[in-house]
Amino acid sequence: MGFAMVKSAVMDGLTVREVCVEADTGSGLPVFHMVGYLSSEVKEAGERVRTAIRHTRARLQPQRMVVNLSPADIRKTGASFDLPIAVALALSAGSIMDRCEKRVLFIGELSLDARIRKVRGILPIVSYARENGYEICVVPWENETEGKLVSGIEVVGAATLSEVWNFLETGERPVRRQQAAKVRDKDKSELDFADIKGQSGLKRASEVAAAGGHNILYLGPPGSGKTMAAQRLQTILPDLDARTGMEVTTIYSAAGLLDEAQPLLIRPPYREVHHTVTKAALLGGGRYPTPGELSLAHGGILFLDELSEYQRTVLDALREPLETKQVRITRKKGTYIFPADVLVAAAMNPCPCGNYPDLERCRCTPGEIHRYLGKVSQPFLDRMDICIETPKISYGELTCEKQEESSGTIRERVLRARKIQKKRYREREMLTNSRMGRKEIEEFCCLEEKEKQMIERAFERLNLTARTYYKTLKVARTIADLEGSGQIRTNHLAEAISYRMVDQTIWGNQKR
């Protein structure tokens, strides 16, 4: 009979909070109490833990048992406290001895037969443990590969509670055939830009978007290749750098979406959300906030198909995150910040029937078109760096046997442009032209007199806002990088300006 304390941790958003699991056993009526601001799944741990312990050599006598999870002002959620609770109870009852002289952190869920089940959030928790002086993390066996992505700390994977007892008393680590951590197969995707017939303008705009990390809106009739292009954007993006890759892997770990055998993510994620998505599902949130689809697409692509079918309030909620590259959710307990550096690809028809502005084929009334386009606000449209019209493909283009350019060929050009940007911004915390601020634009987007006159005319005729003006310069910088030009020329600027023509030809016509 006595007192014992072991350490564990809990995810609070994407932040890890340390939790002390204290157990006290003593004389008195045989009762079991758990306290410490617990969720329902944590309260249920008492029955799981005591039943699991009965299936090991450790024994708990009928006595008064109290378990406290502190600090009491942090909400304890999930089933990952089962293992530390079991260890604390067994130690306090004297059923096992702790001969490990190192700082150890425990996390894992228990089944009734004492097996240890996998849990989410292992990667950020192990990272936290290393940064805070822990020497060993005891985790479920199924999470060991994920935990070992973090260097500088020993990760012990246990399959059963008995293996944990043996480790604490003898120091012996469970011995199994460990599968090495792998990365996801780069060539797993069968999507390729070569699948898209014709549509050279669409492909060019996609290449520019990928090269500079620019948001892109595809606008055109049904069947013109909008969705196909957006789904293939991922195939021409470069691999994630080491820091972003670990950030993305951490987010997926917290969401429980990692592959057990191949946990490390090096390819940009691709997330496609349905137009019925809620604001909380898209941005993240809930009573105890968790990352949404926007953060799950961090470092990659978020595709919004049928843009005009989304609730306008949902789209407008994206405006701030697209500028700041992060999601801020404020609750009574504090502010949660989730990363959201994404390339947004959106696709929509120009009208309900899809044929506007071809008035010979469009049968929609002006009121129907106005209401349809009005679902996308001008401030949201301003966040789209590139707006490209995708015309209906002709029969000749569709049946042409000409070999289209592959994603691999396009990706090579994107990589060269990204290399130029990486060198340009090596002393700044950015990787692409889309992240340029006012100072960077003034430094790297200098225009000569001829180009200044061109952008001035475009500003007046297209009614550009300050935001779209700067976005046009950023896109022009990317186009110049694709050609290896250090100076933005008139042809680069003209192409960038053409990507704002949709504002005038489609939305502009509705204003008159």
Q: Is 182 part of any domain?
A: no
Q: Which domain holds residue 235?
A: 193-430
Q: Do 144 and 217 sit in the same domain of this protein?
A: no
Kindly provide the residue ranges of all beta strands, DSSP E only, lying in 362-481, ordered along the sequence.
386-389
Rounded to whole angstroms, the Cα distance separating 208 from 285 reads: 33
282-303: pLDDT as tens digits: 999 888 888 999 999 999 999 9
Q: Is 491 part of any domain?
A: no
Q: Do 164 and 207 sit in the same domain of this protein?
A: no
pLDDT at 177: 55
* 507 band by pLDDT with thresholds 50, 70 and 90: low
Which is it for the CA torsion 471, 475, 478, 483, positive or negative? negative
Give percent of the chain with pLDDT exceeding 70: 95
Q: Do 83 and 226 sit in the same domain of this protein?
A: no
Q: Is 294 part of any domain?
A: yes
The 3-state DSSP composition of the chain as helix, strand, coil percent (nearest 5) reads 40, 20, 40
pLDDT at 441: 93
Which of these, 204, 217, 213, lies nearest to 503 by C-alpha position?
217
Q: Do 122 and 30 sit in the same domain of this protein?
A: yes
Q: Do 117 and 217 sit in the same domain of this protein?
A: no
Q: Is 248 part of any domain?
A: yes
45-59: pLDDT as tens digits: 989 999 999 999 998
Rounded to whole angstroms, the Cα distance separating 217 from 81 reads: 45
Q: Do 288 and 144 sit in the same domain of this protein?
A: no
Q: Is 270 part of any domain?
A: yes
pLDDT at 401: 81
Residue 218: phi, psi to the nearest 5?
-95, 125
Which of these, 128, 124, 140, 32, lies nearest to 80 by C-alpha position?
140
* 117 band by pLDDT with thresholds 50, 70 and 90: very high
Q: Do 202 and 163 sit in the same domain of this protein?
A: no
pLDDT at 1: 59
148-204: pLDDT as tens digits: 999 999 999 999 999 999 999 998 888 765 555 454 444 455 788 989 888 889 999
Q: Do 287 and 343 sit in the same domain of this protein?
A: yes
Q: What is the pTM of this model?
A: 0.88
Amino acid at 127: S
- Which of the pair, 261 or 15, is modelled with greater confidence? 15
Q: What does each C-alpha distance from 91 to 3, 9, 59 come to in angstroms?
A: 8, 19, 11
DSSP codes joined into one string, 122-155: HHHHHHHHHHTT--EEEEEGGGHHHHTTS-SSEE
Average pLDDT value over all residues in the chain:
90
Three-class SS state of 164: helix
Q: Is 179 part of any domain?
A: no
pLDDT at 185: 46
Say yes or no to pLDDT of 511 above 80: no
275 Cβ neighbours under 8 A, 6+ residues apart: 304, 305, 306, 307, 309, 310
Q: Is 492 part of any domain?
A: no
Domain finish residue from 170, 185, 219: 170
Q: Is 124 part of any domain?
A: yes
Q: Do 317 and 422 sit in the same domain of this protein?
A: yes
Under a CB-based contact definition with an 8 Å cutoff, are residues 500 and 459 in contact? Answer: no
Q: Do 228 and 94 sit in the same domain of this protein?
A: no
Q: Calculate mean pLDDT across residues 445-469.
A: 91
pLDDT at 186: 46
Domain finish residue from 170, 204, 227: 170
Q: Do 282 and 381 sit in the same domain of this protein?
A: yes
Q: What does each C-alpha distance from 346 to 179, 224, 308, 341, 385 come to in angstroms?
A: 39, 14, 10, 16, 11
Say yes or no to pLDDT of 421 above 60: yes
Q: Which residue has the tokens 């992505």?
A: 149
Rounded to whole angstroms, the Cα distance separating 269 from 345 reads: 13
What's the total number of domains in the chain?
Answer: 2
Q: Do 76 and 199 sit in the same domain of this protein?
A: no
Q: What does each C-alpha distance from 365 to 167, 354, 359, 361 come to in angstroms?
A: 75, 12, 10, 12
CA 155 to chain centre: 25
51-105: pLDDT as tens digits: 999 999 998 888 899 999 999 888 898 889 999 999 999 999 999 998 888 999 9
pLDDT at 384: 92
CATH of the domain at 64: 3.30.230.10
Domain finish residue from 170, 204, 225: 170
Under a CB-based contact definition with an 8 Å cutoff, are residues 492 and 485 in contact? Answer: yes
Q: Calculate mean pLDDT across residues 7-20.
A: 93
CATH of the domain at 223: 3.40.50.300
pLDDT at 187: 44
Q: Comparing 139-143, 172-176, 310-314, 349-353, which segment has the lowest mean pLDDT?
A: 172-176
365-404: pLDDT as tens digits: 888 888 888 888 888 998 999 999 988 888 888 888 888 8
